[in-house]
Copies of this chain bind each other. A is one copy, B any other.
Amino acid sequence: MTDGHHRLTLAASIVGTGTSPLSARWPGTRWDRFAQWDHYRRSAQIARRGVLDAVFVSDHPAHQRDTHRAPGHVFDPVALFSAIAGAVPDIGFVLTASTSYNAPYNLARRIASLDAISGGRTILNLVTSFNPDIAANFGHAPLQSREERYRRADEFVDVLTRLWDSWELGPDEPPAGPLWQADPIDHHGEFYDVRGPLTVPVGPQRRPVLAQAGASGPGLDFASRHAEIVYAALLGKDAARRFRAELDARVRAQGRSPGDVRLLPGVNVVLGDTEADARQRHLAFQGVRDEDELVARFLARQRAAGRPALPASVDPDRVLDPAWFEPDPRQDAPIGFARALQDLVASEGLTARELVTRHGDPGGHRLVVGSPRQVADALVDWWADGVVDGYVVHLPLLHADLERFVDQVVPILQAEGVFPRDYEEAGATIRDRFGLPTPLPAARAVG
């Protein structure tokens, strides 16, 4: 166990119609619910029924290229989560936004507004955006290098936190003289010039909580400097332990305490009434008849992602060579998923069949397939050993699988005393729920 071990925390992804490529056309669902506000509100209501800490949306401000899957990022996350904040009490928000395509003043104001409106239930998941399709919606400039994106992101966070601290509202009684005092931040940096102060006063949890998901070198450096919650792709427990140790070391090197950083990997959960039922549902959600087909698809996707060392033919029942999965360091796509897969193969000596059935959604997050009891045990296992602080749970079909999770897994976690039974126990703000310290005011601008 790590020092300052905190209770299990859980967020649920409510992106689109669910992670199954067939979720849009699933029998009994409305195919275009990805564009229906009611669909997202209901997801948040179900998450609240399960006392989940937050709902999560990733973001991609560009139209999705794959026209055979439901689009995942239809509504602007600020509009979507603000609407949910108006409609659904208690639930928290993990909101993803790009440091490359927002003005820091606008984003600071929007996130502070949502945090005030929701009573301190906002986590800002900062991404630097790597996709040329997004870049093309925001001007003709070529995509920036990863290094430049993170240099910009560093300065962005500095502006953000200083703006969030720039206006401390006075006591309940109206002051006799001026109604407030707020000082400019007078930031002049490499990328931004921002005077401030912000129009939104310091909020209910002082500052919205910062999360970060990048797993490249610059991404991990960025996380160790700024992130309070780290979201990551961790496929195996050993790999997760190593990642945690590396993160903790980097956090310490920045003069911060590892106890002030929560690690929340993503996890793909497929539930069934029994293990056999869950495995069958998993195959159905992937649209395959059997495991052989799953293996073939996994290998084909890896090849398409550019793994030059992967042989043309792989025996599904022979132990895989981790060198086959070496990610191309020049790739612009996020490096975390590729690295996580390679780590898993290296540490657990798996065959391709074992990989796709026991562990990994190909190139994605950890996969847990099983009965409610098995899923609860798998989630508690890593947490009880102090490897992780919780999870962002991804589910194949919304809403059916979110309801299964909330109605079947959460009660087991509650009965074991590792998860709260209501929001009074869970905590009012995100900082309460995740046991995160309230930050000290940022240093005032000098000169």
Residues of A within 8 A of B (CB): 24-25, 30-32, 35, 37, 41, 60-64, 67-71, 73-76, 78-80, 82-88, 101-103, 105-106, 109-110, 113-114, 116-117, 133, 136-140, 167, 169-170, 172-174, 178-182, 188, 192-201
Contact = CB atoms under 8 A, between A and B. Distances in A.
Residue with the highest number of chain B CB atoms closer than 10 Å, among A82, A173, A201: A82
Given A103-B101, A193-B140, A110 B76 contact: yes
B63 A196 contact: yes
Contacts of A109: 61, 75-76
Contacts of A172: 30, 32
Contacts of A69: 179
Contact of A63 (B83, B116, B167, B170): B167
Contact of A67 (B63, B114, B179): B179
A192 B83 contact: no
Closest CB pairs A-B (n = 6): A86-B86, A86-B87, A31-B174, A82-B82, A67-B178, A83-B86
6 contacts: A31-B179, A67-B178, A74-B199, A80-B113, A139-B192, A140-B188
B198 A110 contact: no
A117 B80 contact: yes
Given A79-B79, A79-B82, A83-B85, 6 more contacts: A67-B179, A73-B199, A75-B109, A75-B199, A78-B78, A79-B114
Contacts of A31: 173-174, 179
A103 B35 CA distance: 22
Contacts of A82: 78-80, 82-83, 86
Contacts of A87: 86-87
Contacts of A83: 82-83, 85-86, 114, 117
A31 to B, nearest CB: 4
